[in-house]
Chains A and B, each alone.
Chain A
Amino acid sequence: MGPSVPGQLSAYVAYSKSASVSSGILRRPLSAVGRTAQSTAEHAGEIALLLSATVRSVVRLQVSLRSVLQQIYIMGVQSIPIVVVTAVLAGIVTSQQGGYQFQGAVPLYILGSIVVASVVLELGPVLTAIVLVGRVGARITAELGTMKVSEQLDAFHALGRDPIAILAAPRIIAGVIVVPVLVGIANLVGVLAGMVAARMTLDLGYESFLYGARLFWHNWDLFYSLTKAVTFGLAIPVISIHMGLRTRGGAAGVGRTTTASVMFMTLTVLILDALFPPLLLQ
């Protein structure tokens, strides 16, 4: 049993206890906000340092052309099949759903415009980026994370080599080059798939489809699509490399970091995608 407390004092003790409980209730969410802000600032700072080190290594001509070409092959050429399959399905689904909504309401040739705009402005760049997050980004994080926990990155330093010039820069350069090309392929294939699907299921002729596509086409849309692609092509390798380089904790750590990296990249792609219309489609 605790010590006895006089009347007024016990009221104060009860008040201060409830105040400490309520400050405890406040402390948790506030400290969570603080931790998130600190973590965000750390990520932003490390990504800025990574980018500046990459630019430095490019300017000093420390990046091997062979490594860049190798990464272009791995990230670009090897990704073509999955990007094409995704684009075909996106084009078919857009065409089918558009046809379902418009039949009997508006002239069906408008479908050409809907498919082209949907694929070029949104589905081509975003679906390609999401596919590359899984295929390229996860691979980069796991690869660099494994190198980090097995001291291979330290070994580069020990040999007087810069891991940024050897590992990071070629992947970032390759990303900026290959993603716009892949998005271009996805746009073309998606539109063609939508056109063929409209012909086969809605009996909309190719000429009508193309007439509708031309009716509302702006050249700016292609620029918009490719600008998105360049942005995603920079974001995916930069984030995946950044996450790989901060891996710790053995094999389990590689798994944890790769999962976090995929979430980070996916969210970043979607947030960047949401920022594009107010910036470039006014």
Chain B
Amino acid sequence: MIIRYRDLWKAFDHPILAGVDFGVNEGEMFGVFGPSGTGKSVLLKTTIGLIDLDRGDVEVDGESVYGGGPRALQRIRYKVGYVFQNSALFDSLNVYENVEMGMA
């Protein structure tokens, strides 16, 4: 299993993730559907540790996102390609600097 979500819990004003637990196999295409505000983006952001969890952990390629420390998290982030909802181009940087940002 390439990505493993283990018992994820997250609440803001109300519970968003309540015991989410599943895995994605290598080569598998996996879609998450649901109405707005039900936690799809929150779930995806946990894949590279962009959101603190109340409980649970995510493993990517055998490494823990939340329990592996900053270096492990850095390694995971270099491995994962993540496309943001709002494209998240750095509009204060020029094209070269945008490309350069992902090359270090």
Contact = CB atoms under 8 A, between A and B. Distances in A.
Interface of A: 143, 147, 150-152, 154-161
Interface in B79-99: 80, 82, 84-86, 88-92
Nearest to B86: A150
B60 interface: no
A155 B84 CA distance: 8
A157 B48 CA distance: 9
Contacts of B102: 159
Q: Which of B80, B85, B90 has the most CB of A within 10 A?
A: B90
- Those 9 A-B pairs whose CB atoms lie nearest each other, nearest first: A155-B88, A151-B84, A151-B88, A158-B82, A160-B77, A150-B86, A159-B102, A154-B50, A152-B88
Given A155-B84, A158-B48, A158-B50, 11 more contacts: A150-B86, A154-B45, A155-B90, A157-B48, A157-B49, A158-B80, A159-B102, A160-B74, A160-B78, A161-B101, A161-B104
Contacts of B77: 157-160
Nearest to B41: A151
A154 B50 CA distance: 7
Contacts of B91: 150, 152
B85 A151 contact: yes
Interface residues of B, number: 20
17 contacts: A143-B92, A147-B90, A150-B86, A151-B84, A151-B85, A152-B90, A154-B45, A154-B50, A154-B84, A154-B88, A155-B82, A155-B88, A155-B90, A158-B84, A159-B77, A160-B78, A160-B104
Contacts of B90: 147, 152, 155
Interface of B: 45, 48-50, 74, 77-78, 80, 82, 84-86, 88-92, 101-102, 104
A72 B41 CA distance: 37
B92 to A, nearest CB: 7
Contacts of A155: 82, 84, 88, 90
A163 B92 CA distance: 13
A5 to B, nearest CB: 40
Contact of B86 (A143, A151, A157): A151
Contacts of B86: 150-151
Nearest to B47: A158
A158 B65 CA distance: 12
A159 B98 CA distance: 11
A150 B88 contact: yes
Nearest to A166: B101
A252 to B, nearest CB: 16
